């Protein structure tokens, strides 16, 4: 079961090194559970344990794929040990584990006394490009019950049926970790495990321990002489590059002799200019929290002295100004912030389960618009457009429609900024020190399409969102008057003007450093 907190205490003393040309010994049961969680993590649409459960065939295929990946990277698998007998000293531990599993089952039964949904469409796998490496923890809802009953047996069967690995699989008359340690003590090498117990075994002078979830496959380009930092930099948009190079540490690594002493006191980013309605709040405003998180992620890969906690954004502005100043979350706040965005995206995904024709990222923009407008006491622009589109000509390009399109563009590009900066942090940072929720968000954002296929420029896309539009209450029915403007029923014109002024005052302070609202720019995302 491992020694509580031992890995956490020893992690600062760990070193990163290549597994190429290394001889590998593997803790078999640990490998089986690692493969199980890997397979679970690919069920991004699953809503519960049963929808996320992999088939035994899938487990067998994945364990072979994982081992093949090790050997393609230049490692040699010498032994894979499986427990054939557990000593009497482990009897109480096994009883405790059995009791824990039983409690899990009872708790789950009490939580879902009427059963759970099961939709085959939710069991589809989405494997990231790094699969089966680049470990991402499965969602908590997937692990509320014990692992599949025949998990270890299925993996052993697959290995014994493989020409490549049948000769290195060994069922031992004791605990696998003891045999792993004994082999390393005699021959040297690296043991791969998921259990901290091996850290206290005598592995000999040439033995070491690596954990399954820490293993990564290096990109091919690294072998061609490019550093991970320089390679990651090549995949960023120009505006994002400019932001990153305002960190002196990164400029010193990437700037090739640029004078880093010439840097400004402020950190600025000039966002692409969106064509929106000058009569409305800037279209970038709706997705500000996404960008704030993105800006903060760079702090994870630079020294503390370089950390930045405010950013000046420059977008539509008539006069020369310092731009709009935003706070960004501290490193300590990043896990929760990433978790909130994951929840937000998963909720949108859930709402689209029976609506496969709706573009996911368009639905994300719609949901942002609805949630933030509700918080500000306004009717969402997207809902206004949907309520009016029946009486408007489809060929008419109103400023409301133009502004909505700009909001979609701003939402998409904000997630693109987040995707690229998180990808940069993962590529150049120590994966073991990055928040788990950030790594999960990194995998989710891999589904964000490129600009060439994103369809964000489809200005007629508002109509496909009609099924998502929630029916507005009788006090908030939006109808178009004869002048083409919008007003809420049952609200006097005098009261309407007062509400409008209040909304403008509230809106002016959304997320700003000096504003009276919550300092957490991600609160809105938890309301979906």
- Residue 243 to residue 247: CA distance in whole angstroms: 8
pTM score, whole prediction? 0.54
pLDDT at residue 221 tops 60: no
- Residue 209 to residue 294: CA distance in whole angstroms: 34
Task: Retrieve residue 383's tokens.
Answer: 């809902």
Q: Which residue did the predictor score with more confidence, 190 or 333? A: 333
The 10s digit of each residue's pLDDT in 223-256 is 333 466 777 777 788 788 889 888 888 888 775 5
pLDDT at residue 393 tops 60: no
Question: What pLDDT, on the 0 to 100 scale, is given for residue 455?
Answer: 61
Q: How many residues does the structure list for the chain?
A: 528
Cis bond before residue 132 (omega within 30° of 0):
yes
Domain boundaries, the chain: 6-217, 228-527
Sole residue written with tokens 């994951």: 342
Question: What pLDDT, on the 0 to 100 scale, is given for residue 486?
Answer: 22
Which residue spans within 44-167 are E strands per DSSP?
76-83
Handedness of CA 178, 98, 44, 425 (dihedral sign): negative
pLDDT at residue 132 tops 50: yes
Which residue spans within 16-155 are E strands per DSSP?
23-27, 76-83
Question: What pLDDT, on the 0 to 100 scale, is given for residue 107?
Answer: 87
The stretches of 245-310 forming alpha helices (DSSP H) are: 248-254, 288-297
Q: Which CATH class is domain 6-217?
A: alpha beta
């Amino acid at each position: 079961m491992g020694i509580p907190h031992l890995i956490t205490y020893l992690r600062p003393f760990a070193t990163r090194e290549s597994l190429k040309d290394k001889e590998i010994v593997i803790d078999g049961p640990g490998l089986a559970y690692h493969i199980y969680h890997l397979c679970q993590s690919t069920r991004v649409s699953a809503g519960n344990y049963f929808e996320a459960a992999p088939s035994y065939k899938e487990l067998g295929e994945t364990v072979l794929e994982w081992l093949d990946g090790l050997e393609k990277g230049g490692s040699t698998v010498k032994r894979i040990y499986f427990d054939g007998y557990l000593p009497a000293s482990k009897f109480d531990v096994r009883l405790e584990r059995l009791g824990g599993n039983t409690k899990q089952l009872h708790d789950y039964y009490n939580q879902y006394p009427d059963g759970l949904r099961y939709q085959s469409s939710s069991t589809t796998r989405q494997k990231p490009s790094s699969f089966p490496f680049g470990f991402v923890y499965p969602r908590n809802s997937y692990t509320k019950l014990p692992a599949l009953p025949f998990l270890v047996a299925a993996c052993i069967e697959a290995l014994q049926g493989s020409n490549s690995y049948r000769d290195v699989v060994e069922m031992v008359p004791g605990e696998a970790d003891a045999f792993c340690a004994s082999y390393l003590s005699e021959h040297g090498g690296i043991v791969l495990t998921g259990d901290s117990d091996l850290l206290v075994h005598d592995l000999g002078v040439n033995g070491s321990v690596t954990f399954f979830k820490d293993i990564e496959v290096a990109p091919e380009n690294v072998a061609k002489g490019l550093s991970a930092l320089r390679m990651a930099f090549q995949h960023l948009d120009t505006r994002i590059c400019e932001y990153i190079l305002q960190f002196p540490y990164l400029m010193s690594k990437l700037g090739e002799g640029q004078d880093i002493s010439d840097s400004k006191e402020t950190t600025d980013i000039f966002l692409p200019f969106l064509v929106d309605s000058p009569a409305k709040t800037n279209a970038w405003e709706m997705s500000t929290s996404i960008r704030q998180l993105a800006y903060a992620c760079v702090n994870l890969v630079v020294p503390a002295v370089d950390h930045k906690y405010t950013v000046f954004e420059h977008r539509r502005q008539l006069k020369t100004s310092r731009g709009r100043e935003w706070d960004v979350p501290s490193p300590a706040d990043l896990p929760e912030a990433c978790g909130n965005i994951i929840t937000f995206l998963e909720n949108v995904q859930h709402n689209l389960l029976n609506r496969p024709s709706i573009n996911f990222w368009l639905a994300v923009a719609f949901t942002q618009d609805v949630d933030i407008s509700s918080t500000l006491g306004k009717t969402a622009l997207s809902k206004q457009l949907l309520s009016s589109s029946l009486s408007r000509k489809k060929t008419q390009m109103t400023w409301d429609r133009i502004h909505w399109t700009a909001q979609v563009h701003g939402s998409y590009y904000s997630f693109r900024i987040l995707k690229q900066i998180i990808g940069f942090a993962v590529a150049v940072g120590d994966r073991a020190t990055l928040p788990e929720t950030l790594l999960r968000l990194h995998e989710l954002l891999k589904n964000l399409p490129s600009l060439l296929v994103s369809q964000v420029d489809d200005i007629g896309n508002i109509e496909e969102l009609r099924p998502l539009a929630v029916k507005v209450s009788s006090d908030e029915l939006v109808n178009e008057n004869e002048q083409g403007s919008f007003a809420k029923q049952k609200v006097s014109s005098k009261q309407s003007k007062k509400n409008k002024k209040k909304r403008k005052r509230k809106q002016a302070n959304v997320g700003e450093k000096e504003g009276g609202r919550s300092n957490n720019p991600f609160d809105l995302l938890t309301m979906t």
